[in-house]
């Protein structure tokens, strides 16, 4: 009889331990993932101050890039620009980023003066990339805002521009980079052309862009047009979510 009593008490003891263990597991769920940044981005995060204004851009408000003092190093520019889609990485954008890399390499090698001596008309004389800031949306999303500025050799045809990009980061993944605004000017006397890109990013991650083009010959407007574009960044994000959850 004692043997069965001891056996029964042992069973109750083991069951109580098992129950406590299960309760403890229930009380200590696995930690949720939260927003972080790739190491290549995190080490330069200090040059992207947090922004409080809404995610709405009017190029006319961003004309003066002199207020953007923080230059982005070449390695980070290459990382962010690689996430431009083929649809958006136009021949012009490819040309500007390629010229920027050549110029930055020449500056790093202390050969920029030699680079300038070899320039000819129609070539880019200088190009720089500046950080503007970042938005952190909830605990999973972040947007980096940055600017590419360039100018040509000072002889006709001349051109210059300022392109504004946002890079979407989900948890610690760089998902996508897209142009949200821009200003371009070109001239080949007596013709001048101006292009403005005005962008708005909605809460549903739709990027709405309007592109205005104005061409003048002397003082007469000979061409004027406006086009609209819509990009669904949520599709890029959903793909990344599915990819992350599948791991």
- Name the pLDDT band for 2 (thresholds 50, 70, 90): very low
Q: How do residues 72-107 score in pLDDT, each as one tens digit?
A: 999 999 999 988 876 665 677 888 999 999 999 999
C-alpha distances in Å from residue 43, one per residue of 27, 37, 82, 170, 187: 36, 9, 19, 17, 40
3-state secondary structure (DSSP) of residue 15: helix
pLDDT at position 116 over 50: yes
CA separation for the pair 112, 105 (Å, rounded): 8
Q: How many CB atoms lie within 10 A of CB 201?
A: 22
Does the pLDDT at position 10 exceed 60? Answer: no
Query: Residue 71's pLDDT is what?
Result: 93
Tell whether the torsion through CA atoms of 62, 69, 39 and 135 is positive or negative: negative
- The pLDDT score that the predictor gives to residue 89 is 58
Per-residue pLDDT at 146: 93
How high is the pLDDT of residue 173?
87
Q: Which two tokens stand for residue 42?
A: 């995190």
Q: Do 139 and 210 meet the contact criterion of CB atoms below 8 Å apart?
A: no
Q: Which two tokens stand for residue 162?
A: 């300022």
At 23 the pLDDT is: 45
**pLDDT tens digits, 216-225:** 998 899 999 9
What percent of the chain has a predicted confidence (pLDDT) above 90? 37
Partners of 212 in the β-ladder: 196, 226
**Helices 74-81 and 91-108 sit at what angle, rounded to 10 degrees?**
160
Structure tokens that stand for 152 in this block: 């040509």
Residues 6+ apart with CB under 8 A from 141: 35, 168, 169, 170, 237
User: In the prediction, which pLDDT does 68 show?
Assistant: 76
Please tell me the distance from the alpha carbon of residue 95 to that of residue 30, in angstroms, as a whole number: 47
Domain ranges of the chain: 35-245
pLDDT (tens digit per residue) in 141-175: 889 999 999 999 988 899 999 999 989 998 888 98
- What integer pLDDT is reported at residue 17 of this predicted model? 44
Quick: pLDDT tens for 186-208: 999 899 999 988 888 777 777 88
When pLDDT is cut at 50, 70 and 90, the band that residue 3 belongs to is very low
pLDDT averaged over every residue in the chain: 79
Q: What is the pTM of this model?
A: 0.78
């Amino acid at each position: 009889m004692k043997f069965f009593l001891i056996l029964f008490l042992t069973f109750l003891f083991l069951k109580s331990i098992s129950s406590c263990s299960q309760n403890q597991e229930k009380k200590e769920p696995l930690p949720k993932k939260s927003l972080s940044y790739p190491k290549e981005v995190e080490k330069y995060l200090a040059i992207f101050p947090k922004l409080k204004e809404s995610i709405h851009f009017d190029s006319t408000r961003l004309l003066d890039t002199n207020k953007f003092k923080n230059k982005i190093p070449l390695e980070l520019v290459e990382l962010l620009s690689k996430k431009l889609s083929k649809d958006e990485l136009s021949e012009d954008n490819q040309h500007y980023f390629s010229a920027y890399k050549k110029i930055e390499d020449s500056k790093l090698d202390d050969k920029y003066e030699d680079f300038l001596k070899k320039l000819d008309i129609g070539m880019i004389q200088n190009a720089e990339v500046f950080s503007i800031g970042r938005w952190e949306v909830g605990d999973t999303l972040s947007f980096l805002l940055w600017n590419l500025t360039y100018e040509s050799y000072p002889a006709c045809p001349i051109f210059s521009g300022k392109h504004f990009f946002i890079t979407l980061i989900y948890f610690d993944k760089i998902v996508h980079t897209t142009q949200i605004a821009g200003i371009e000017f070109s001239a080949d006397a007596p013709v001048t052309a101006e292009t403005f890109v005005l962008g708005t990013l909605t809460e549903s991650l739709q990027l709405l862009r309007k592109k205005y083009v104005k061409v003048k010959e002397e003082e007469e407007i000979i061409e004027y047009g406006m086009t609209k574009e819509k990009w669904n960044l949520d599709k890029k994000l959903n793909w990344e979510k599915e990819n992350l959850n599948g791991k």
